[in-house]
Amino acid sequence: MKILKYIFILVSLIFITSCEDYFGSESNIDPDNPTTVTPNVLLPQVQARLVYTYGGDFARYIGLYTQHVDGISRQFAVLGQYGISPSDTDTPWSNIYTGTLNSNRQLLLTSRAGGFNHYTGIALALESYSMLISTDLWGDIPYSDAFRFAENGVYTPTFDTQQDVYNQILTNLSEARTLLSTQGGGNVPGNDDLIYRGDVSKWIKFTNVLEARAQLHLSKVNSDAYAKVLSALSGGEFEHSGDNAGFAFGNPATENAPWYQYIEQRDDCEVGATYVALLQSFDDPRLATYGQPHTNNHPIWTRDQTVNLLSFTEQEFIKAEALLSSDRSAAYEAYLSGISSSLMEALVDDAGYDSYLENASVAVGADNLTLENIITQKYLALYTDPEVFSDWRRTNFPALIPVTGTAIPRRIPYAQTEILSNPNTPSQAEVGIFNPVWWDQ
The model's pLDDT over 162-217, given as tens digits with 9 standing for 90+, comes to 999 999 999 999 999 999 999 999 999 999 999 999 999 999 999 999 999 999 99
Torsion sign over Cα 172, 91, 307, 402: negative
> Of 297, 299, 315, 293, nearest to 381 (Cα)?
315
User: Which pLDDT band holds residue 37 (cuts at 50, 70, 90)?
Assistant: confident
Its domain, for residue 277, covers 2-27+39-430
Is 440 part of a structural domain of the chain? no
- What integer pLDDT is reported at residue 192 of this predicted model? 98
The answer to whether residue 441 sits within a structural domain is no
The whole-number average pLDDT for the span 21-42 is: 57
User: Does residue 201 fall inside a structural domain?
Assistant: yes
Q: 94 pLDDT band (50/70/90 cuts)?
A: very high
Coil, strand or helix at 273: helix
Classify residue 33: in a domain, yes or no.
no
Average pLDDT over all residues of the chain: 92
Phi, psi for residue 406 in degrees, rounded to 5: -115, 0
Please check the confidence at residue 416 and state whether its pLDDT lies above 80: yes
Per-residue pLDDT tens over the stretch 190-201:
999 999 999 999
Residue 386 has pLDDT above 90, yes or no: yes
327-363, pLDDT tens digit by residue?
999 999 999 999 999 999 999 999 999 999 999 999 9
Identify the pLDDT of residue 154. Answer: 64
150: pLDDT strictly greater than 90 = no
Q: For 114-137, what is the mean pLDDT?
A: 98
Number of domains in the chain: 1
Radius of gyration of the chain (CA): 21
Is 413 part of any domain?
yes
pLDDT at 305 over 60: yes
Q: Is the pLDDT assigned to residue 279 strictly greater than 50? A: yes
* Residue 200 belongs to domain with CATH number: 1.25.40.390
Q: For residue 308, list its beta bridge partners.
A: 246
Task: Give the per-residue pLDDT at 35.
Answer: 52
Classify residue 34: in a domain, yes or no.
Answer: no
What pTM does this model have? 0.92
pLDDT digits over 425-439, tens only? 999 888 999 999 999
Where does the pLDDT of residue 149 fall: very low under 50, low under 70, confident under 90, or very high at 90 and above? low
Contacts with 302 (C-beta within 8 Å, 6 or more apart), sequence order: 257, 260
Cα separation, 222 vs 322, whole angstroms: 13
Phi and psi at residue 332, to the nearest 5°? -65, -40
Domain membership of residue 435 (yes or no) is no
- Three-class secondary structure of residue 401 per DSSP: coil
With respect to residue 246, please indicate whether it lies within any of the assigned structural domains. Answer: yes
